[in-house]
């Protein structure tokens, strides 16, 4: 797992994906920070974080798009799958590499907090709550992206499908509103990433939501392992 | 070292590999020979645990590859058909990655140096794999397989895309490796297998068609008494040829006789095949003495690996073609005849008996048409 993790981290930076991701992430969060927080004269960061949902949604596929699709295309998966390591090690190595980069990007908010501390009082509980909310959201999204990357050989297809899939997850709230069958509505709301995330940004620390995001991450990583395993039996 | 029992791989209805069994001992170099699409790569992918078998069992060093894949894979170094190289890494970075991936315990610096020296890539260690030539990429692929000194090496067409010098280098290297490792290598190039391998398995259409050393396979298959004879007739004309063929046909136990090309002026070669266990050499000699012909050459045609390969892989097809040639045309006509004329000071060769040939061909066509009509 360590070898794969290190290789992926290196590949993020040599391929430039890391730079694109970090640049766009800091740029957009900076814009939201400036207009949403500094511009409106508050130290309340919840607005900034709720806006960042969409940014995370569209940026995560850039991290995950080639994690497994490129391996399949270049036949390098043959090297991994015939090495004396388990499938979980392969998937987790890649997953944790993407997650590390995401945490790195996300940690830019600590720079904002220093600025805020200089200008006024930082509400650390909301800031940290939001920080972890985004972390959980990201960990779930990365697992979804990694799973979709395992299904194709084409990294562009992987990116587009991941974006669409994550967007559909985001739309679950609005869709649920127009569903008249109560049971279906309930189920859809249960899987609503956005409302769960919003709850966090409003300062509510809901343990079921944490469990939800971690479970989603686990389930999709599990599915990715299954996809790799199934390919051997094809 | 490696034991394969009743290995089968099915893709839908198609059996890519069908009930293959063999075993490879320690320090043996085994060659997988077969035409493209025979199931060589599929077998190798199963041996290395990249794909699973539909049924059957593979034991690597006594460990079942499906039951304990990690332990079994630790014993294998694999160079797939397309080397699994990350082109965005340097050679050094890549080899270090493979070193970590294989959880190698041997001292890193010394081991990588040794592997690089073996594969002669020490000079390119700091270059990006993307920028390497195909030959170097292949060698990096081989180096990767050698990391952690696996007792079993599985190499899928290791010399594809290399120039002749590199091919010789890689062959020498494989031979050297064969002293310490068990090697399985696949190829559709015969001389390569012949040059490197102790033992050969010929795979065709997913089944083992032959298994043994080159000599064993050859003797197993050549129980026919085939020879080529060059006989000098009395008149040095084509009439000789007819006479000689007819005369040889008269010898007991002759299966077929065919006049080959004109080797010396008025002298022809004859391919003769006798029934099994019949030695016609003495009878031939007597015949020639009686008729006052001279035997200028007699060569028993031992089967080369190439003949064997063709025979096994083309199988019935070749025999059918030969039979058609025997039945459809008189043996003498198989080699085209030319008459030489001098026209306007230039030597002109024209094919004679062309009309007769055309007729034969047409009659073949007619047959085909009739067959088609019958099917309708």
**Domains defined along chain B, listed by start:** 2-220 (3.40.50.300), 222-334 (3.30.70.100), 337-375 (no CATH)
Kindly tell me the sign of the dihedral angle through the C-alpha atoms of A89, A94, A95, A96: positive
pLDDT value, residue B332: 41
Structure tokens at A140: 């779930």
ipTM, two decimals? 0.90
**Is A80's CB within 8 Å of B102's CB?**
no
Separation of alpha carbons A159 and A150, rounded Å = 11
Q: Which of B45, B82, B101 sits opposite A85 (nearest CB)?
A: B101
What's residue B122's pLDDT? 92
Tell me whether residues A82 and B48 touch, CB distance under 8 A.
yes
Residues of B within 8 A of A78 (CB-CB) are 45, 50, 78, 80, 82, 84
Compute how many other C-beta atoms are within 10 angstroms of the C-beta atom of residue B13: 5
Residues of chain B contacting residue A86, judged by C-beta atoms under 8 Å apart: 70
Binary contact (A77, B73; C-beta < 8 A): no
Sign of CA dihedral B127, B130, B131, B133: positive
| Gap between the Cα atoms of B291 and B240, Å rounded | 11
Min Cα–Cα distance to chain A from B211, Å:
27
Tens-binned pLDDT, residue by residue, of chain B (376 aa): 899 999 999 888 888 898 899 999 888 999 988 887 888 889 999 999 999 999 999 999 999 998 999 999 999 999 998 999 999 999 999 999 999 999 999 999 999 999 999 888 999 999 999 999 888 999 999 999 999 999 999 999 888 777 888 888 888 888 888 888 999 999 877 778 888 888 989 888 888 888 888 777 766 655 456 788 888 888 888 788 888 888 888 888 888 888 877 878 888 888 888 877 777 888 888 888 888 888 888 877 666 666 667 766 665 444 444 444 444 444 444 444 445 555 555 555 555 444 444 444 444 444 444 444 444 3
Q: Which residue is it, tokens 């343990």? A: A207
Residues A53-105 pLDDT 10s: 899 999 999 999 999 999 999 999 999 999 999 999 999 999 999 999 999 99
Q: Name residue A221's beta-bridge partners.
A: none
Tens of pLDDT, residue by residue over A198-226, are 888 777 778 888 999 999 999 999 999 99
Query: How much is the mean pLDDT over chain A?
Result: 90
Single out the residue of B278, B286, B271, B281 nearest to residue B326, CA to CA.
Answer: B271
- Asked whether B127 and A30 are in contact (CB, 8 A), the reply is no
- Percent of chain A exceeding pLDDT 70 equals 100
Strands (E), chain B: 2-11, 14-24, 29-33, 55-60, 63-64, 76-79, 152-156, 182-187, 199-204, 207-212, 225-232, 254-264, 267-274, 294-300, 337-343, 346-352
Chains A and B: how many Cβ contacts under 8 Å? 75
Q: How far apart are CA B72 and CA B62, in angstroms?
A: 8
Gyration radius of chain A's alpha carbons: 19
The helix-helix angle for A87-106 and A207-233 (nearest 10°) equals 140
Per-residue CA distances from B326 to A116, A140, B106, B258 (Å): 97, 73, 64, 9
- Tokens standing for B140? 């990096």
- Give the number of other Cβ atoms within 10 Å of residue A147's Cβ: 25
Residue with tokens 């994550």: A166
Structural domain count of chain A: 1
Residue A139 confidence (pLDDT): 95
Q: DSSP letter at B28?
A: -
Name B228's bridge partners.
B271, B299
A98: domain range?
Answer: 2-233
A11: which chain B residues are within 8 Å (Cβ-Cβ)?
A: 86, 88-89
């Amino acid at each position: 797992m360590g070898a794969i993790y290190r290789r992926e981290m290196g590949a993020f930076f040599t391929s430039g994906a890391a730079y694109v991701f970090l640049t766009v992430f800091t740029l957009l969060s900076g814009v939201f920070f400036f207009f949403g927080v500094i511009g409106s004269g508050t130290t309340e960061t919840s607005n900034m974080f709720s806006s960042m949902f969409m940014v995370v949604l569209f940026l995560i596929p850039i991290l995950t798009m080639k994690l497994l699709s490129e391996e399949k295309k270049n036949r390098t998966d043959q090297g991994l799958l015939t090495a004396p390591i388990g499938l979980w090690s392969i998937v987790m190595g890649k997953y944790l590499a993407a997650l590390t980069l995401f945490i790195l990007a996300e940690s830019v908010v600590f720079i904002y907090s220093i600025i805020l501390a200089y200008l006024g009082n930082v509400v650390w509980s909301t800031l940290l709550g939001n920080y972890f909310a985004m972390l959980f959201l990201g960990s779930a999204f990365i697992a979804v992206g990694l799973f979709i990357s395992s299904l194709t050989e084409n990294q562009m297809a992987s990116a587009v499908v991941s974006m669409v899939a994550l967007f559909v997850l985001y739309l679950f709230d609005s869709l649920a509103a127009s569903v008249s069958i109560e049971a279906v509505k309930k189920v859809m709301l249960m899987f609503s990433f956005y409302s769960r995330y919003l709850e966090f940004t409003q300062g509510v620390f809901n343990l079921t939501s944490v469990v939800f995001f971690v479970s989603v991450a686990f389930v999709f990583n599990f599915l990715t392992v299954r996809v790799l395993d199934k390919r051997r039996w094809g | 070292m490696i034991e394969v029992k009743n290995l089968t791989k099915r893709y839908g209805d198609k059996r890519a590999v069908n009930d293959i069994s063999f075993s490879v001992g320690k320090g043996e170099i085994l060659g997988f020979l077969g035409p493209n699409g025979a199931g060589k790569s599929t077998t190798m992918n199963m041996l290395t645990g990249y794909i699973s078998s539909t049924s059957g069992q593979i034991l690597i060093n006594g460990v079942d590859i499906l039951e304990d894949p990690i332990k079994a894979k630790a014993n294998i170094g694999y160079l797939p058909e397309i080397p699994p190289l990350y082109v965005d890494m340097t050679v050094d970075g890549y080899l270090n990655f493979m070193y970590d991936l294989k959880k190698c315990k041997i001292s890193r610096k010394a081991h990588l140096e040794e592997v690089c020296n073996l594969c002669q890539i020490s000079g390119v260690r700091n270059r990006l794999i993307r920028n390497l030539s195909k030959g170097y990429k292949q060698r990096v692929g081989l180096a990767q397989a050698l990391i952690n000194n696996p007792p079993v090496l599985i190499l899928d067409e290791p010399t594809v895309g290399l120039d002749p010098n590199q091919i010789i280098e890689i062959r020498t290297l494989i031979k050297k490796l064969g002293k310490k490792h068990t090697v399985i290598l696949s190829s559709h190039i015969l001389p390569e297998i012949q040059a490197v391998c102790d033992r050969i398995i010929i795979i065709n259409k997913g089944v083992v068609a032959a298994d043994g050393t080159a000599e064993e396979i050859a003797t197993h298959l050549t129980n026919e008494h085939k020879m080529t004879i060059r006989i000098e007739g009395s008149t040095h004309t084509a009439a000789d040829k007819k006479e000689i063929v007819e005369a040889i046909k008269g010898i007991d136990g002759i299966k077929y006789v065919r006049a080959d090309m004109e080797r010396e002026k008025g002298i022809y070669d004859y391919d003769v095949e006798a029934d099994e266990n019949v030695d016609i050499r003495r009878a031939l000699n007597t015949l020639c003495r009686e008729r006052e012909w001279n035997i200028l050459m007699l060569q028993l045609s031992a089967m080369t690996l190439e003949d064997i390969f063709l025979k096994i892989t083309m199988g019935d097809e070749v025999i059918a073609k030969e039979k058609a040639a025997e039945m459809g045309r008189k043996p003498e006509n198989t080699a085209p005849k030319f008459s030489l004329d001098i026209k306007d000071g230039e030597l002109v060769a024209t094919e004679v008996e062309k009309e007769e040939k055309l007729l034969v061909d047409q009659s073949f066509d007619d047959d085909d048409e009739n067959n088609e009509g019958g099917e309708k």
